[in-house]
Amino acid sequence: MRIVIKIGTSTLTYPTGLLNLRHVDKLIRVIADLKNEGHEIVIVSSGAIALGAGKLGIRRPKDLPGRQACAAVGQCELMYVYDKLFGQYNHTVSQVLMTYEDVDQPVRRQNAVNTLETLIRMGVIPIVNENDTVSTEEVSIGDNDTLSAIVGRLVKADLLFLLSDIDGLYDQPPKDHPQAHLIPVVHAITPQIEQMAGGSGSDRGTGGMVTKLSAAKIALESGFAMSLINGDRPESMYQVLKGDPVGTLFIQEGKDLR
């Protein structure tokens, strides 16, 4: 299977902006193992801004140039960690930084596809992030949930794993409603489903569920599945691939993962 794995800042770092080594070690071991099993892997990783701020010993800046500077510092740190940890398992990684124009303009999009396909064919793991250092707010993809679904569409993925700090999609925000139920499977992003995420266009605190549903929409429209699971338990990826109900699986009606 061709699998895109989106790793969020909350999975990679502590609120201090420093690496959560316990999570990262476990996660990379599982991903390296999935690759050994024969799956093709593309990673979309956040964390540049947080790691940069952590390394500089400052809070996440409120101004754009400040965040761009942090991303420039943190992206090095991010790739250093991936290179080192995947290297332990003999896997080669590559850095792919993309901007909105790279996915919007046909020629540049084709260029990006050619590079990604070549890297995958070479057995390399592409690690994609938005090129935050040069992307301004007006012309940016904006969030890596959406970027990961776009990358999934570019490489014609079979499955996108969104590793988050939430166990899946709940019928109401679990923080305020302890009786909330996890929705195991979603076949279409209906207004009712959007309601569960806090309503479309809103970013009310359900763990950024709105951008996760945008990603799911792109996945369903493009014909690949998306699995939303908790990044604290990367072994869940094995279970999802076996067909066990873990997290929320967004998949077209009548399709299954194999």
The stretch among 46-54, 111-119, 166-174, 176-184 that binds ligand GLU (CB under 6 A) is 46-54
Q: Which is nearer to ligand GLU, 103 or 241 (CB)?
A: 103
* 151 near ligand GLU, rule: CB under 6 A: no
Would you put residue 90 in left (φ > 0), alpha (ψ -120 to 50) or beta? left
* 31 near ligand GLU, rule: CB under 6 A: no
Question: Can you tell me which of 20, 68, 99, 144 binds ligand GLU, judged by CB under 6 A?
Answer: 144
* 133 near ligand GLU, rule: CB under 6 A: no
Q: Which is nearer to ligand GLU, 214 or 236 (CB)?
A: 214
* 129 near ligand GLU, rule: CB under 6 A: yes
Q: Which is nearer to ligand GLU, 46 or 99 (CB)?
A: 46
Q: Which two three-digit tokens encode residue 200?
A: 């479309």
* 102 near ligand GLU, rule: CB under 6 A: no
Residue numbers at the binding site for ligand GLU (CB under 6 A): 8-9, 46-50, 71, 129-130, 132, 143-144
